[in-house]
Amino acid sequence: MSQLADVRPAGDDTTGGPIIQAWRPAVDGVVEAFHARFLGHAYPAHTHDAWALLIIDDGAIQYDLERHHHGAARSTVTLLPPHVAHDGRSATAHGFRKRVVYLDSTVLGEDLIGAAVDTPAFDDALLRDRVHRLHIALLHPEDAFEAESRLALVRERLTERLLGGARHGRSRDDTPSVVRALGRSGSDGQRVQGAMAEQLRDLLDERFPSGISLAEAAGILHAHPVHLVRSFSAAFGLPPHAYVTGRRMDAARRLLLAGQTPAEVATSVGLYDQSHLTRHFKRYLGINPARYASFRG
């Protein structure tokens, strides 16, 4: 097994600002590759439609997933499941460097979300090396076939680890709220609340990116607006507006990497104008959208 390479994001500088490289590899199952160095940036609570598979090259991070505290350092492989709220921040004053590959939700089935919520981090040298080698292949478009092969090995190892953890039972007594939201566990009240939250999420997704007012959603679902917000927040770990904003930022990233201008992207994801996009994008990514797009491979 080779030593872990010290791979720095493109354009490293000494200003202390974020350094980012992001691109969309032409590899089935890979939504985006993202390499970054952050000093003081903190991610707000958000969700992704994709699985976020990350490794740390320098420093350490802390994050909350499903309201439980976690950390990751250089030896750790972290897997954040889709649809589950999480945040992120540096564990030290020196910041961190990370590499993330966002995997299509079909690469790992939704039946593994609960296991990933329970065990999002693996101190697994073999898995760490496989993810590292996947990133190296993704850096070179001509190595797409190699990347596909390496992704298959990563998927195999992740599935083994997740299923192995599930066989040994849950790590906590409480049921993840995202599982309750899908109506698979909990009391009768929790199942009703979870069903309402899922209906609202489906409606938000259906009306994305144009959006829907809370009042209209309440009318369609025959529920009080406050009850909708509370049910959604309890089920998914963040309020409905934050869920929609996170979806807009995910979509904005894809469109920027596809070559659209920030002004075009703002309109495409349902925001008022480019300044509106910039304000949210900097809060979520720590960098303005024009600069983010300039780092694409």
Instruction: Report the pLDDT value the prediction gives residue 181, as an integer from 0 to 100.
Output: 40
Instruction: Report the pLDDT value the prediction gives residue 186, as an integer from 0 to 100.
Output: 58
Per-residue pLDDT of the chain (297 residues; tens, 9 = 90+): 333 333 444 444 445 678 899 999 999 999 999 999 998 889 999 999 999 999 999 999 999 998 899 999 999 999 999 999 999 999 999 999 999 999 999 999 889 999 999 999 999 999 999 999 999 999 999 899 899 999 999 999 999 999 986 555 444 444 444 544 444 555 676 788 889 999 999 999 999 999 999 889 999 999 998 889 999 999 998 989 999 999 999 999 999 999 999 999 999 999 989 999 999 999 999 999 999 988 665
CA distances from 207 to 213, 238, 271 (A): 10, 19, 14
One domain for residues 148 and 95? yes
One domain for residues 122 and 54? yes
Q: What is the CATH number for 284?
A: 1.10.10.60
The answer to whether residues 211 and 270 touch, using CB atoms and an 8 Å cutoff, is: yes
Q: What is the CATH number for 127?
A: 2.60.120.10
Gap between the Cα atoms of 174 and 156, Å rounded? 28
Sign of CA dihedral 158, 160, 166, 169: negative
Contacts by 136-141 with C-beta closer than 8 Å and gap 24+? Answer: 136/5, 136/7, 138/25, 138/27, 138/30, 138/33, 138/101, 139/33, 139/297, 141/25, 141/26
Q: Which residue reads 């945040």 in tokens?
A: 87
* Displacement of CA 225 from its chain's centroid (Å): 27
Gap between the Cα atoms of 279 and 286, Å rounded? 10
CA distances from 283 to 44, 130, 275 (A): 8, 32, 12
One domain for residues 67 and 186? no
Instruction: Report the pLDDT value the prediction gives residue 3, as an integer from 0 to 100.
Output: 33
Gap between the Cα atoms of 128 and 25, Å rounded? 20
The conformation of residue 222, written as its DSSP 8-state character, comes to T
One domain for residues 183 and 266? no
One domain for residues 208 and 249? no
The answer to whether residues 65 and 84 touch, using CB atoms and an 8 Å cutoff, is: yes
Q: Which domain holds residue 289?
A: 242-294
Gap between the Cα atoms of 203 and 1, Å rounded? 48
Among 58, 63, 30, which residue's Cα sits nearest to residue 47?
63
Three-class DSSP category at 58: strand
For the record, the structure tokens of 132 come out as 């590292």
Contacts by 156-160 with C-beta closer than 8 Å and gap 24+? Answer: 157/124, 157/126, 157/127, 157/130, 158/53, 158/79, 158/108, 158/127, 159/108, 159/112
One domain for residues 130 and 270? no
In degrees and rounded to multiples of 5, residue 142 shows phi and psi of -70, -10
One domain for residues 90 and 203? no
Burial of 226 (0-12, 13-18, 19+ CB in 10 A): exposed
Among 142, 120, 134, which residue's Cα sits nearest to residue 5?
134
One domain for residues 197 and 252? no
**Is residue 123 a part of any domain in this protein?**
yes
Sign of CA dihedral 282, 284, 286, 292: negative
One domain for residues 105 and 153? yes
pTM for the full predicted model? 0.77
Instruction: Report the pLDDT value the prediction gives residue 117, as an integer from 0 to 100.
Output: 95
Instruction: Report the pLDDT value the prediction gives residue 296, as an integer from 0 to 100.
Output: 62
Gap between the Cα atoms of 107 and 162, Å rounded? 13
